[in-house]
Every structure is written in structure tokens, then in C-alpha cells.
Amino acid sequence: MAFESLRNLFNKPPAASRPSDRMTLVGPRIPRHSSGWGAILKHLKESESLRVLDIGPTSPSNVNFLTGLGHSIYMADVVSEANRDEWAKPPGDDGFPSKTDLDSFFERNMDFNGRAFDVVLLWTTLDYLPESLLEPMIARLRASLQPKARVLAFFHTRTAGPESIFYRCHVTDGDIIEMQEAERLPVRQVYTNRKIEKLFSAYGGCKFFLAKDNVSEVIISR
């Protein structure tokens, strides 16, 4: 089984974020019911030797659990880097970001050396990306997926103030995930189901799960 830590992705104040920073998770783990994770877990248990991309700060418990199911796990951690000041400015007529800027960002943070994934645990990543990186991230992710791959994503349906808590999600052997504070960052956008379908229009389809805490859960098929 393989495990590869690629780079930093979840929260800390933008001024403190640097590519070399190591994310420190703080606070207790808060259990949360997740029908989306329950569905992905069922798929993982019914399949063999899948390649899983877990997006977020390194979670040793996720590594141990997923490799224990017989799968390979890789990690990408990009949210902190994406929230640096240089990416905060919206795309505009000044040509920012250029293709070179975007290519450089993804080469630093999502270089998988040609690997293609069967399952991606995207969590709430897209809620915390600046507008300039949102669609390029979705396109880059699609290019890194096997034809029948599945992506588990969470989306805020309401904002939570200028500094919401960005949580690391730790998986369990059931329909519970454990949320642990990683960083405080603003939720940059909220999503309706229609907007999510539009964002992933190049993918195969979306399956939505009901949620009770202003967070929707979606499994997107490649």
C-alpha cells in the first residue's frame, strides 16, 4: 500500500499560511453523521486495491484505516496555500491568474506524477478556494480520475462569518466522520444543488444526500 503526503490544504489565517507550514490540528474530534461517507465506505469495502486521494492535512488515522481496507492512499493539502494574498484577488482584465500562474500552483500542490484515482475525499475544500482557483481545480481533479471514479464533497449552504472553522475530516468504520479544527478561514461561497451540478457539468453526474447542519453532501461520478 502506498501513502504520499503532497501539500497543505486546510485552514489557518491567510497571513500565516506559507507553503512550508505544517498544519497543526487542534481541539477535540466532533462526531458528525455523514450519509455520503457511509456510501463511499460501502464502495471501499466492496472493492479491492483502489487508489484514494484524501484532500486535507495529513490524518494518520485516515491513512491507517484506508490502507487497512487494502487501498492505496495519497494526500494533497492545498487550502492554506490557496488562501495566500496572491490568490485572494478575483480574476480580472489584468490577466491574473495567467495559465502559467495556475500551472505553477497545481504543479506545487497537486502533482500526482501521472497517477489516476478511484476515490477522492474532497470534503469542504471548494468552499475555501478563491474564485480564480475554483474551476481550474475541478478541471484538474477530473483529469486525475479513473473513468468510474467517485468524489465525495461537502458544501456549505450558508455562510458562517468571516472566519468559519475549517475542519479536517477523520473517517470511521461507519456513517460517522470526526471533525477536528484545522484553521479559521472564510467560507468564500455557498452552493445550491443547481450550482453544484453546473460546476461539475463535465462529470458523469451528482448524487445528493440530505444534511441537517447547513452542509450538503454530494457524490460526484467521473
Digit-coded pLDDT (tens) for 28-42: 999 999 999 999 999
pLDDT at 105: 86
Overall average pLDDT of the 184-189 stretch: 86
Kindly write down the DSSP assignment for every residue of 50-116, as one continuous string.
-EEEEESS--HHHHHHHHHTT-EEEEE--HHHHTSHHHHSPP-TT-PSPHHHHHHHHHHH---TT--
Output the pLDDT for position 145. Answer: 96
Question: What pLDDT does 29 receive?
Answer: 94
In the predicted structure, residue 23 carries a pLDDT above the cut 70: no
Per residue, the 3-state secondary structure of 143-196, as one string, reads HCEEEEEEEEEEEECCCCCCCEEEEEEEECCCCEEEEEEEEEECCCCCCCHHHH
Has residue 15 got a pLDDT over 50? no
Q: Which pLDDT tens digit goes with each residue over 51-79?
A: 999 998 889 999 999 999 999 999 988 88
CA within 13 Å, CB half, 101: 11
- The CB-side HSE value for 45 (13 A sphere, CA atoms) comes to 9
Q: For residue 7, what pLDDT is reported?
A: 32
Look up residue 81 and give its amino acid.
Answer: E
Q: How far apart are CA 159 and CA 189, in angstroms?
A: 7
Q: Across the chain, what does the average pLDDT equal? A: 83
pTM for the whole thing?
A: 0.84
**pLDDT of the residue at 165:** 84
pLDDT band at 18 (very low <50, low <70, confident <90, very high): very low
Could you give the count of Cα atoms lying within 13 Å of 151 in the half-sphere of its Cβ? Answer: 28
Kindly list the structural domains of the chain, giving each domain's residue range(s) and its CATH number in brackets, ordered by start: 3-90+117-221 (3.40.50)
Which has the higher per-residue pLDDT, 192 or 162?
192
Q: Are strands 51-55 and 72-76 parallel, antiparallel or unpaired?
A: parallel
The predicted pLDDT at position 104 comes to: 84
Residue of 177 and 91 predicted with greater confidence: 177
Rounded distance between C-alpha atoms, residue 172 and residue 187, angstroms: 26
| pLDDT tens digits along 137-157 | 999 999 999 999 999 999 988
Asked if 28 contacts 180 with a C-beta cutoff of 8 angstroms, the reply is yes
List, in order, residues 6 or more apart from 214 with CB less than 8 Å away.
156, 157, 158, 160
Question: Sheet of 164-171: strands edge to edge?
Answer: 30-33, 176-185, 164-171
What pLDDT, in 10s, does the model give residues 72-127? 999 988 888 888 766 766 666 565 678 888 888 888 888 888 899 999 999 999 99
